[in-house]
Structures are given as C-alpha cells and as structure tokens.
Amino acid sequence: MSTHIEEAMERAWSPNSIDRLHLINGGWPIPNFRIPMDKLIAITKGSPRIAMSGVPKGISTNIYLKKILAGGIRMPHLHMQDEIVLFDKSVLQEYLHAAAEEVKNIEDITEIRDFIRQ
C-alpha cells in the first residue's frame, strides 16, 4: 500500500472516526481503497452497533450490525480475503465495467442441446 494511501487512511480513519459510525443515516466515509482487517477492528472496537470478526483460514471477513438500525455500511462492498473493499459510485462503476468485460467471454448457452444435463 502506498504512503499516499496510508496517509489518506489515517485522515479518514482517525480514532475520532468512531463517531461517524453512529450517525442516524449511517455515516461511513467513502474510501476508495481496501481497509485492512486490523484497522477495521481497531475502529469498530467498542462500537455498540458494529462488530468485526475474522474468519479462520483467511477466507473472508464478517462485519455485522449488532442491532438492525438505520445506517451501518451503506455502501456496496465486497469481501476479498481478509479485507473489505468499499465502493463509491465511480469505483463501483469501474468494477461493473471490469465484471462486464469478464462475463462477456462467457459463452451464451441458450440451446437445449448445449446444456450439460440432458
């Protein structure tokens, strides 16, 4: 991770950021980068509303709302290994483009004779 990103993270995720987790409508900042698990745990530690837990073998990461309340992570996110990628709109659009590019190569299977199970 570059120094630039690290600096950006420090600004976005200072200890005071915890207050931003508890806005009525959810108030997470919008980083365009991956957030390491330890950082998320540090930030959410002691939060009455959000809990983090790692999943063994590095498969994924769990993030929960302790209570179902308005707010929480309002952004689309993907779980990738032990990190969570939060999307803002422009990043999401990039992901959509990338995903579209990938699935474009999937062969269309619409003819019954082409199905595996007949």
Partner 1 sequence: MKISLSVTHNCNLRCNYCYTGEKIHKNMNLKTASEIVDFAFEITPCENQIDFSFFGGEPLLCFYLIKDVIAYVKTKEFSNPISYNITTNGTIINDEIIDFVNQNNIKLSISIDGPEHIHDKNRVDINNNGTLKTVLQNIKKISNKVNFFQVNAVYGPDTVGELGETFSFLIENEIKNIHLNPNITQNWDESMFSKITDAYENIAEKYMSHYKSNQEVALNLIDSKLILFLKGGYDKEDKCGMGETEFGFAPSGNVYPCERLIGDDTNDEMCMGNIHTGINPLKRCSIGKKRGNSNAECVTCSVQKYCMNWCGCTNYNMTGYSDKVSSMLCYSERAAITAAKKVILELQDNETFINHFCNYAYDENKILNTGVYYEHTHRRSNGKSMES
Q: Which residues bind partner 1 (CB under 8 A)?
A: 25-26, 51-53, 55-56, 59-60, 62-76, 78-79, 87-89, 92-93, 95-97, 99-100, 102-104, 106-110, 112, 115-118
Tell the smallest beta-carbon distance from residue 40 to partner 1 (Å): 13
Tell the smallest beta-carbon distance from residue 4 to partner 1 (Å): 25
Query: Which residue number, 4 or 117, has a Cβ lying nearer to partner 1?
Result: 117
Q: Within a 13 Å sphere around the CA of 21, how many CA atoms are in the beta-carbon half?
A: 20
Query: Which residue number, 39 or 79, has a Cβ lying nearer to partner 1?
Result: 79
Environment class of 8 (CB within 10 Å of its CB; exposed 0-12, middle 13-18, buried 19+): middle
Tell the smallest beta-carbon distance from residue 10 to partner 1 (Å): 26
CB 14 within 8 A of CB 20: no
Structure tokens at 36: 């390491």
What does the alpha-carbon distance between residue 85 and residue 106 come to, in Å, rounded to a whole number?
25
Query: Which residue number, 1 or 70, has a Cβ lying nearer to partner 1?
Result: 70
Tell the smallest beta-carbon distance from residue 75 to partner 1 (Å): 7
Query: Which residue number, 7 or 88, has a Cβ lying nearer to partner 1?
Result: 88
